[in-house]
Amino acid sequence: MSEIPTVQHWVNGAPAAGTSTRTAPVFNPARGVAEKNVLMASTADVDTVVAAAKAALPAWRDMSIAKRQNIMFNFRELLHKRTPELAAILTNEHGKVLSDAAGEIARGLEVVEYACSMPTLMKGDYSENVSTGVDVYSLKQPVGVVGIISPFNFPAMVPLWFFPLAIAAGNTVVLKPSEKDPSAANFMAQMLKDAGLPDGVFNVVHGDKEAV
């Protein structure tokens, strides 16, 4: 019997093993058997992933909104094209039928499309003479490294509700998906890289309560 594959973390644009040797089984609910293992990050592994996101922040934050928008457009096209592949991953690890999985991705795709309008969403405001000799203005700026902890029931939709907006706004991201269905996160990470996202802007760390 051949050894089953292990889902690794995604750090700096590539799979990464980390230092922890703990793993957990990833079951195919339709068959009731473990078809993969997933790495379970230690605290040190999480620190490494966060450091990678922090190191990538300055260059990404300073990149023009137009260039960030173009990468998000590329990701939108890839996600639309590869929806059947991602839906199959969801069905294999979560158990929902393919049509439901595709519907989940479609709801996430709506947010990706919304993130493509980030140049408009990032505009600030300026109000002149709101009081005698007083002008008021607001700026919208990246906040830094964003952490996302997503649940088992929507392994694609919930991350897609958050990371496209965070990334398009100039933040970097660390995603911790459920260890029950982890592969969708890595699949989307690869698509982001294929779309032109710089290494370290989007990272995935797998694990249980220790990673959380």
Which pTM value belongs to this model?
0.94
Q: Which two tokens stand for residue 102?
A: 């595709």
What pLDDT is recorded for position 2? Answer: 62
3-class secondary-structure state, position 208: coil
Q: What percent of the chain has pLDDT over 70?
A: 99
Report d(CA 5, CA 27) in Å as an integer. 12
Per-residue burial over 64-85, b = 16 or more CB atoms within 10 Å of its CB, e = otherwise: ebeebbebbbbbbebbeebbee
Q: Which two tokens stand for residue 143?
A: 């906040």
What pLDDT is recorded for position 165? Answer: 97
Report d(CA 49, CA 166) in Å as an integer. 17
**Parts of the chain with a pLDDT under 70:** 1-2
What pLDDT is recorded for position 50? Answer: 98
- Rounded alpha-carbon distances, angstroms, from residue 115 to 103, 125, 143, 150: 19, 20, 16, 19
What pLDDT is recorded for position 191? Answer: 98
Beta pairing class for 14-16 and 33-39? unpaired
Nearest to 94 by CA among 139, 138, 150: 150
What pLDDT is recorded for position 1? Answer: 46
Report d(CA 147, CA 49) in Å as an integer. 11
| CB proximity list for 151: less than 8 A, separation 6 or greater | 158, 178
What pLDDT is recorded for position 210? Answer: 93
What pLDDT is recorded for position 104? Answer: 97
